[in-house]
Chain A
Amino acid sequence: MSAVTVQTTVEPLNFFEQVVAATPGESHLEACIQCGTCGGSCPSGADMDHTPRAIFALIKADMKEAVLHSNTPWYCVSCYYCTVRCPQDIHITDIMYTLKRIATQEGMVKNTPREKAKAPNFSQAFITWVENYGRSFELGLMGVHMLRHNPFGAFKIADMGVGLVAKGRMAFTPTRIKEFDSLAAILAKAKELEGSE
């Protein structure tokens, strides 16, 4: 196994190229005909800053800030309707994941207002439990997330939480997998390789 070189700076990629390069497989993003099938199909499209179609136009116009500051990728619920309906076979859901990664990895989410940071923070909170235990932990996740973003809203769904606990559907402590050290080593290595060629 040869040494892995981490690419630092070559010629700065334009945003379109960056998105395509960071999306596994053939994204077909270049083929967008702006028909709006994605935007029409999206179950959370009504509440997005820009529809996915508009996001693709912004990407092609190299308007990186506008794309990465929009809530659009974070409102994607991964239902893949856009992907299967797209007449150009663009892997839209995968591109949304790419945009989320770029936004996170380039620190874009840190500067966003509290409300917009909700989704990235949720992902981060979810993953923190996984990275520390190997399994997810719903109670902890919801606790952290609720306290951070919606301390009063917690009451709204409190009876649900109580219900889940009463039915034995919520654990009070997280479970840690046996070979946690091995997993930690794998994840550390993977993070080191992220972004490398």
Chain B
Amino acid sequence: MKYHYYPGCSLEYNAAAYHVSTLAIAGALGLELLEIDDWNCCGATEYISLNLAAAYALIARNLAKAAQNKATRQVVAPCSACYLNLRKCDQSMRESPKLDKKINTALAAGGLAYQAGSLAVRHLLDVVVNDVGYAAIAAKVTRPLKGLRIAPYYGCMIVRPDFEKSREVGSGKWRVGSGEWEAVQSGASTSSARLDKSAAGQSGAAGQNTASTSLGRLDKCEYPMTLDILLKNLGAEVVEYPMKAHCCGGHMTQISEKTGFEMIRRLIKGAVEYEADLIVTLCPMCQLNLDGFQGAMNRHFKTKYSMPVLYFTQMIGLALGMNASDLGIGSELVSSRAALAKIGVEAPAAEKPAAAKKASKEALPMPKMPDPTPALPIAKTSDREGGYPTPALPIAKTGDREGGVSPARSAAPEIAKSKE
């Protein structure tokens, strides 16, 4: 499967580990990533705050450059902000002919053109779970992440704004029992259903059919499950993390430290309370905020949190048996060493002794694991060929009413009284 690859500025330096790990797993998962030639910045959330036409023209140049290479019509971006910008630009140009004309006039000044809708913009997580598939990944796991408690963290821009929302829901059509609701509820997205169908025939051609139409939603915008299911398929223990789609603050640390640090504190505190060993994310901005600013946040609030934050691509790499150093592990500021030791991975020593020492002193309480076997035999993993059963939201109408209360909290027993 071929994809135009748009790494974005963050992946050049600050999130180089994301880039490295993405490239490392791409081969193993059968993804051929063609980096867009001479790509430029997407403008983040900044350009659109200053100049709409320039912001979209800047984004559209990347799409125009990608479209020149006809090898594929799929564009994949690992950064959520880049993904949203590329997709939103394409969508807005499609919906507004006026804007389309404006942007293409600007592009023409640089000798380029882009036909809106000719490319399908997708996030890396979407490609991994829907094009590669949970089952195919589970089958390749050689070092299950057994015993590792992970807080899956999606952030905002992969699940919101929900472009399909107003079109699909509305006026009571979207009800329990319609199938669609259950599909989204259980984490199997509408786009996955669609892609699975086409992938069943010719996976390579999957994108060809969908590029011109709007893509379905990747996951629910309030309580997504895609990453949870992926991590479970890697053998990890996924904690119910209610903050998983809350905001990391974006650039807020630069605007108001008070506001920005509070957002970071809530996320870290949540993960600590659910006794997670680490947070796994899929966006360089989220990683920078949660990892890079964790120390500053601690100083601001006089707290001593030490919660490592890694990329989902790094977790896939580890589960596939790759070396930590080949996945850029070790470049995080809050060391993941202690956490990864649980799965028998020796992370490169942290070069930042101050932070590392602090972390070991304040190490999180480790939940007692019944079986500390580092790896499962490969044969065993093939048992779960269909991937893990999708963890449906605990439903209030069943007998089991413990809800999603984490083991760290007391579970609420059900009302056990029958009618007099």
Contacts and interface: CB of A to CB of B under 8 A. Distances in A.
Contact flag (A, B; Cβ within 8 A): yes
Interface of A: 1, 4, 22, 24-25, 43-44, 46-47, 73-75, 77-81, 83-84, 89, 91, 93, 97, 100-101, 104-105, 118-120, 122-124, 126-127, 130, 134-136, 138, 142, 145, 153, 156-157, 159-160, 163-164, 166-171, 175, 177-179, 181-191, 193-194, 196-197
23 contacts: A44-B259, A74-B49, A101-B49, A118-B254, A126-B47, A127-B43, A127-B50, A134-B41, A156-B296, A163-B295, A164-B292, A169-B13, A169-B14, A170-B14, A171-B13, A182-B111, A183-B40, A186-B106, A187-B54, A189-B105, A190-B51, A190-B54, A196-B102
Contact of A168 (B111, B296, B331): B331
B40 A135 contact: yes
Secondary structure type dominating chain A contacts: helix
Given A134-B41, A160-B292, A164-B333, A187 B58 contact: yes
Given A84-B165, A189-B109, A194-B53, A122 B46 contact: yes
Contact of B161 (A75, A84, A163): A84
A163 B46 contact: no
A84 B110 contact: no
A189 B52 CA distance: 12
Contacts of A74: 49, 255
Contacts of A190: 51, 53-54, 56-58, 102-103, 106
B54 A163 contact: no
Contacts of B253: 157
B413 to A, nearest CB: 31
Interface stretch (B70-78, B184-192, B243-251, B315-323): B243-251
A138 B112 CA distance: 28
Contact of B255 (A119, A157, A197): A119
Given A47-B258, A126-B46, A130-B58, A135 B12 contact: yes
Interface in B250-271: 250-259, 263
Contacts of B57: 186-187, 189-190
Contact of B259 (A47, A83, A183): A47
A182 B112 CA distance: 9
B202 interface: no
B87 to A, nearest CB: 13
